[in-house]
């Protein structure tokens, strides 16, 4: 008999990151992180993900002395640090089964190098996870979501130096121990592939600390260190928490050939293989041969310790998680019109509509992504980010009629359901983001993703009051019906 609909215990919920919601950037012992350097950017198109000002040692030196939280909006977030109970209660009201959050590394180890962790930071997350448990919400915790301690970035040029592996593994070890009775699902690195697109945000790499012409090589070196760290943390997690599950996290950049010209098909194939590479290492435990050849051709030498390959091989992940916002198209031809996207641009696809920020909306692409990923990895999948950034309007009676958001989700859920019915093992879905937060790419507040509106503008003015949008009531019904209520 054909199976219909989503699995019985499907994990519906939402996802967010510490640096985009918590605020409280300089209290209770928290140290500065790379996220605290991100400046507000008013451009709608995202052609420079690292922010308004190019990252340099000089810029960082100035920014770290500056106490402002208007220019650096991630410092203020949406004050989840003080309002987490109210927010979690709203998520519970929607019926959330799961919530993906991250732990800000610099809240636990302010510079990354302390002997002892910061108890106040540890206590904060214990409070959050305990509250989630009380409300019946399963936590999925990301250990690295663009929030490396700034000191490590400056001192070691981020993940370029191998020593950072030890610091990260120690931070994770402390978290795994402390939360072993509260958290079962863990993700090591958010969008590990994003190191190529924004090396500072993802891996603390500062361009002027890289010898000329060596930046690309150092990016691959830092990535290798993250792979090794991820494998070591996976092993540690399995040792410390019985029945725990560790996942990798990929930006799924499903790319179509712009035309059926074989040249377009070939460049597209290569682009897709490069995107898979990041999950391949974490799932199969080895570098794909074609990536090794590509590195050789580019004269890129990644230094590996003698047992690195063995570590990668032995400690692979239990499941695959990914973000999906849009598909891309690729062409061998130069000069074609580009479309915007999360930190990456593809050739514009004439068949697709786009969000207010120009990200092309492609629900069928989500189904294609699910089928491809499951066929390749044969591991349980979870979508841990998907959603649309949009301008919302608060009516005079306080209502927010975000029918465009409902439409977006509805179309994506239909495709998810079809993929599941075709045999894909999908065990959960967390929307990005269940509540309005500070955008990762532009640090805007006006780029709203949530089912819950937060009264704050781009300059940080507002009461921070939370309001339910129409989509709040709609998503609640979707969860109640386990994905059957879609119309
Ligand atoms: C993903 C990140 O790339 O995209 C999130 O993991 C981010 O942190 C999301 O918020 C959406 O991007 P943006 O720039 O619209 O916030």
Atom of ligand 1 nearest to the CA of 357: 15
B/e letters for 232-259, b = 16+ CB within 10 Å, e = fewer, are: bbbebbbeebeebbbbbbbbbbbbbbbe
- The Å distance, Cα 389 to ligand 1 centre, comes to 9
pLDDT the model gives residue 49: 44
* pLDDT of the residue at 84: 98
Region of 101 please: left (phi>0), alpha (psi -120 to 50) or beta: beta
Q: Of all protein residues, whose CA lies closest to atom 8 belonging to ligand 1?
A: 440
Give the whole-angstrom CA distance, residue 328 versus residue 318: 28
Q: How far apart are CA 435 and CA 51, in angstroms?
A: 23
Please choose from 342, 343, 345, 384 the residue to mutate so as to test ligand 1's pocket, defined by most ligand atoms within 8 A of CB: 342
Instruction: Please name the residue whose Cα sits nearest to atom 4 of ligand 1.
Output: 342
- 444-449 — which CB contacts under 8 Å span 24+ positions? 444/40, 444/41, 444/42, 444/73, 445/73, 446/391, 447/356, 447/357, 447/389, 447/390, 447/391, 448/389, 448/390, 448/391, 448/392, 449/387, 449/388, 449/389, 449/390
Residue nearest to ligand 1 atom 12, measured at CA:
440
pLDDT of residue 48: 47
CB 99 within 8 A of CB 55: no
The closest alpha carbon to 397, from 444, 349, 335, 467, belongs to 467
Instruction: Calculate what percentage of the chain has a pLDDT beyond 70.
Output: 96
Query: Would you state the pLDDT for residue 46?
Result: 46
- Residue among 120, 123, 116, 220 at smallest CA distance from 173: 116
Using the predicted structure, report yes or no on whether residue 51 has a pLDDT greater than 50.
no
- The answer to whether the CB of 59 falls within 8 A of the CB of 93 is no
**Residue 276 confidence (pLDDT) above 80:** yes
Question: How confident is residue 486, by pLDDT bands cut at 50, 70 and 90?
Answer: confident
* pLDDT exceeds 50 at position 52: no
The pLDDT, as a whole number, for residue 373 is 98
Average pLDDT rounded to a whole number, residues 379-387: 98
How confident is the model at residue 191, as a pLDDT? 97
pLDDT tens for each residue of 125-158? 999 999 999 999 999 999 999 999 999 999 999 9
Taking residues 368-395, report their average pLDDT: 98
- The pTM of the full predicted model, rounded to 2 decimals, is 0.96
Task: Quick: pLDDT tens for 53-108.
Answer: 578 999 999 999 999 988 999 999 999 999 999 999 999 999 999 999 999 999 99
What is the distance between the alpha carbons of residues 339 and 365, in angstroms, rounded to a whole number? 16
Catalytic residues: 191, 385
Name the average pLDDT for the chain: 95
The radius of gyration computed from the CA coordinates of the chain, to the nearest angstrom, equals 21
DSSP classification of residue 207: G
- Go through the domains of the chain in sequence order and give each one's CATH number: 11-480 (3.20.20.80)
- Residue 50 binned pLDDT confidence (cut-offs 50, 70, 90): very low
DSSP string, 15-73: E--HHHH---TTSTTPPPBGGGGPPP---SS-S-TT-SS---HHHHHHHHH---SSSSG
Task: Determine the Cα–Cα distance for residues 167 and 236; give it in Å rounded to an integer.
Answer: 14
Establish whether the linkage from the previous residue to 433 is cis, with ω within 30° of 0: yes
Q: Is the pLDDT at 1 greater than 60, yes or no?
A: no
146 CA: nearest ligand 1 atom: 8
Q: Which residue has the tokens 């239909």?
A: 414
Task: Answer yes or no: is pLDDT of 335 > 90.
Answer: no
Determine the average pLDDT of the residues in 114-122.
97
pLDDT in tens, 209-241: 999 999 999 999 999 999 999 999 999 999 999
Q: Which residues, in sequence order, are CB contacts of 372 under 8 Å at separation 6+? A: 254
């Amino acid at each position: 008999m054909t199976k219909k609909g989503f699995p019985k215990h499907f994990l519906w919920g939402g996802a967010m990151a510490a640096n985009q919601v918590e605020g409280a950037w300089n209290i209770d012992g928290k140290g500065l992180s790379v996220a605290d350097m991100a400046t507000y950017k008013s451009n709608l198109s995202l052609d420079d993900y690292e922010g308004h000002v190019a990252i340099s040692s000089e810029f960082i030196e100035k920014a770290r002395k500056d106490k402002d939280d208007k220019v650096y909006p991630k410092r203020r977030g949406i004050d989840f640090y003080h309002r987490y109970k109210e927010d979690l209660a709203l998520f519970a009201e929607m019926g959330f089964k799961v919530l993906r959050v991250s732990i800000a590394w610099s809240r636990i180890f302010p510079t990354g190098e302390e002997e002892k962790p910061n108890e106040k930071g540890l206590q904060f997350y214990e409070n959050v996870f305990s509250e989630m448990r009380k409300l019946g919400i399963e936590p999925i915790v990301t250990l690295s979501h663009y929030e490396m301690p700034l000191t490590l970035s400056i001192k070691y040029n981020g993940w370029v130096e191998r020593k950072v592996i030890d610091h990260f593994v120690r931070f994770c070890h402390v978290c795994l121990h402390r939360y072993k009775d509260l958290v079962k699902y863990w993700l090591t690195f958010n969008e590990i592939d994003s190191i190529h697109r924004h090396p500072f945000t993802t891996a603390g790499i500062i361009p002027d600390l890289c010898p000329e012409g060596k930046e690309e090589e150092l990016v691959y070196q830092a990535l290798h260190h993250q792979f090794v760290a991820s494998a070591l943390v996976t092993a540690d997690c399995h040792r410390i928490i019985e029945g725990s599950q560790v996942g990798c996290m990929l930006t799924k950049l499903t790319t179509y050939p712009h035309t059926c010209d074989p040249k377009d098909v070939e460049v597209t194939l290569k682009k897709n293989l490069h995107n898979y590479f990041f999950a391949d290492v974490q799932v199969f435990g080895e570098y794909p041969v074609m990536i090794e050849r590509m590195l050789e051709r580019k004269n890129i030498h990644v230094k590996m310790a003698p047992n690195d390959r063995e570590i990668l091989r032995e400690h692979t992940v239990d499941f695959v998680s990914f973000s999906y916002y849009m598909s891309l198209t690729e062409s061998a031809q130069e000069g074609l019109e580009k479309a915007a996207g999360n930190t990456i641009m593809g050739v514009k696809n004439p068949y697709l509509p786009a969000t207010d920020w120009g990200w092309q909306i492609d629900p069928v692409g989500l189904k294609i992504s699910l089928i491809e990923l499951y066929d390749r990895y044969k591991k349980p999948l979870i979508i841990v980010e998907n959603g649309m950034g949009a301008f919302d309007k608060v009516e005079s009676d306080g209502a927010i009629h975000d029918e465009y958001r409902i439409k977006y989700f509805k179309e994506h859920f239909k495709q998810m359901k079809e993929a599941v019915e075709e045999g894909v093992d999908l065990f959960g879905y967390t929307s990005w983001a269940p509540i309005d937060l500070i955008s990762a790419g532009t640090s805007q507040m006006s780029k709203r993703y949530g089912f819950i509106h937060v009264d704050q503008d781009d300059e940080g003015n507002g009461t921070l009051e939370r309001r339910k949008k129409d989509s709040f009531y709609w998503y609640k019904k979707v969860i109640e019906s386990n994905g059957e209520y879609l119309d």
